[in-house]
Amino acid sequence: MIEHGSVVGAASQLVRANPAAALRLLTPYLAREPDDPDALCVAAQAQLGLSEPEQALSSARRAGRLAPHDDWPLRLQTLALHQLGRDWDAQNLARHSVAANPGHWQTHYLVACADLWANAVTDHTVAAAAQARTLAPDEPSTHEIVGQVALAQGRTRQAVAAFEAALALDPEDAVAAHELARAQLRRFRIAKSVKGFLAVGRMDPTIRQTHLNLRHLAVRATLVLHYAVFGALLLSRPQPVLAAILLTAFATVVLGWTRLRGGPALYRFARGLWRTDRLLVSWAGLASGAGLLLIIRPVLSIGHRQTGNPLPQQNLLDLALLMLLAGVVISWVRRNRVRAD
């Protein structure tokens, strides 16, 4: 006969890597011993890993009734409620877990998580995250939660420091790397952000948000380019030379910054966009082409000044405007396609 410790212990060792196998191991044991709170808690963990929040909530509640002073069932119920989308209820249970075991870092950690889930970050959230880190300074996730709370409050410098501390403890922590890249983006450290997101993609390709953030970054950059060229177009009518000089300076600064700060990783991402988002590349190409026309317009018109023929200048302006309008249409089509997807 298999002893209690060997069954529950083996399942608890297995539950993170293979929750289905852990649950298969526990099922016959729970059929014989349905009132074992530890086994019920491990079963709830497995059910959470299998995205079965209703079953996990039922198992954790039963464990809570059998062990009313234990914080573990409360923490599992909190996670199950979050998967069910009941984040306000999760907040309440997370605070009950702290009352049950104020010396355990995971209870404070869960309070901070629950507040973030409910989009209700307060000073109490900051204190809970800080207490979790104080109780477990060698646990990367406690630094991560401090960073996430700081990021939610707009304290990007503190967020960067916290995520860097988490990565110092675990350099392969893809979540911390992703959040660090997001914090760098909020601080307008574009090159560092892009490098970070690309590194996360190599660590864990399943984190879909990484690709979305990179794509969002590319869209914002294209939008800035579009508006810069449009502003130059308006200035080019009365002051074509000044518009060309300003646009050339803008392009020089952007290209120089990209080369010095972006590096090969940024170029690889830009080249890869042609395979993943051709509409965005087309929009950027049209905006760049319009800008090039505005830059060369004063040069091409030098030979026509003596004759007073305005056609070359006007034709170039009209063509640049058409290219920008085409870019607007492409951006609109792309936006609608992304929403449909």
Could you write out the DSSP letters of every residue in 168-209?
Answer: HH-TT-HHHHHHHHHHHHHTT-HHHHHHHHHHHHHH-TT-HH
159: exposed, middle or buried (Cβ count in 10 Å: 0-12, 13-18, 19+): buried
Q: Quick one: pLDDT at residue 312?
A: 58
Q: Quick one: pLDDT at residue 112?
A: 94
Q: How confident is the model at residue 134 (pLDDT cuts 50, 70, 90)?
A: very high
**pLDDT by residue (tens digit) across 139-193?**
999 999 999 999 999 898 999 999 999 999 998 888 888 888 888 877 777 767 7
**Percentage of residues in the chain with pLDDT exceeding 70?**
86
Quote the CA–CA distance of 328 and 273 in Å, as a whole number.
19
0.75 surpassed by pTM = no
pLDDT of 325 strictly over 90: yes
Mean pLDDT of the region 64-79:
91
Mean pLDDT of the region 79-108:
91
pLDDT of 104 strictly over 80: yes
Nearest to residue 110, comparing CAs of 134, 93, 135, 88? 93
Angle value at C-alpha 110, between 109 and 112, nearest 5 degrees = 70
Q: Quick one: pLDDT at residue 2?
A: 38
Q: How far is CA 308 from CA 292, 302, 303, in A?
A: 23, 10, 10
